[in-house]
Amino acid sequence: MNPQFRNAFIWAAVGAAAFLGVVFPLLFMDGMNGGFGIACLSGFAAMCCGIGAGVYLFRGFALNKILSGEELVVHWTYSPEEWRRYAEAEYGRDRQLKFILFCIVAGFALFFGVLFLIFGGDGGRVVFFVMLGLIALIGGVAALSVTLARRSNESRLGEARISRIGVYLNRDLHNWNMVGARLDDVCLVREESLLVAFTYSYPSRTGRQSTTVRVPVPAGREGEAERVVAYFTQGTTFA
């Protein structure tokens, strides 16, 4: 089953359960004794789940197009050694970036926590310990995300499908045909091996969110990689 459709089904099922939380309190509870509050919260949850289901449904159709070859530009597979080198390089890069972000967030949290500890009295001590807990939580989440990404790359031999509307790399979909999304940059990156970097952005709650996916180039496919970049940046045909 298309994993995006599976996610859409999960969101829809949770949304349906949340919708029941709207109906039942209005039918069987006194609205002034909590019924209206439960119905409002459940309604908000159902709306969010509906949006999530719609997003994943759209992504599912996009992935179907990529897998069917309808929007495909190039399909690359890798030798075990090529994929191992890529997975190790991405793990090191991801770990470094997450550590830098963690230090920035932890620094701000600790700074404000100390300020509250000094000037906030008894309540300041509570805030300080909350900030310490927040730092521990953020550190745990960052470490877990890096570890899970590494295990995902190591658990199977990857492949890349580059299409006009997105990239499907190691079963992770990156698509820029969503409403408000756009492909911002495509370039070659020369590190230990050659990669094609796709940078795309999409609207989020705090402004535009940017993401870069780095696709390794298999040995002997350097010419194809250059044509891929030209296809996206110059509008040339891929042949």
Asked if residue 211 is part of any domain, the answer here is yes
Same structural domain, 99 and 138: yes
Does residue 167 carry a pLDDT above 90?
Answer: yes
Does residue 132 carry a pLDDT above 70?
Answer: yes
Mean pLDDT of the chain: 82
Q: Quick one: CA torsion of 47, 49, 52, 56, rounded to 10 degrees?
A: -130
Number of Cβ within 10 Å of residue 188's Cβ equals: 14
Domain count, the chain: 3
Same structural domain, 14 and 37: yes
Asked if residue 238 is part of any domain, the answer here is no
Asked if residue 34 is part of any domain, the answer here is yes
Strands laid side by side in the 207-216 sheet: 182-190, 194-204, 207-216
Model confidence band, residue 153 (pLDDT cutoffs 50, 70, 90):
low
| Assessment of whether the complete model's pTM goes beyond 0.75 | no
- Asked which of 95, 122, 155 is the last residue of a domain, the reply is 155
Residue type at 139 in one-letter notation: G
> The domain containing residue 24 runs over which residues?
3-68
**2: Cα separation from own chain's centroid:** 17
Does residue 49 carry a pLDDT above 60?
Answer: yes
**87: Cα separation from own chain's centroid:** 18
Does residue 31 carry a pLDDT above 60?
Answer: no
Model confidence band, residue 44 (pLDDT cutoffs 50, 70, 90):
confident
Residues with Cβ within 8 Å of 4's Cβ and at least 6 positions away in sequence, in order, are 56, 57, 59, 60, 62, 63, 173
- Asked which of 126, 155, 184 is the last residue of a domain, the reply is 155
Structure tokens given for 114:
């100390």
Residue type at 205 in one-letter notation: R
The residue ranking higher by pLDDT, 236 or 40, is 40
Residues with Cβ within 8 Å of 181's Cβ and at least 6 positions away in sequence, in order, are 175, 200, 201, 202, 203
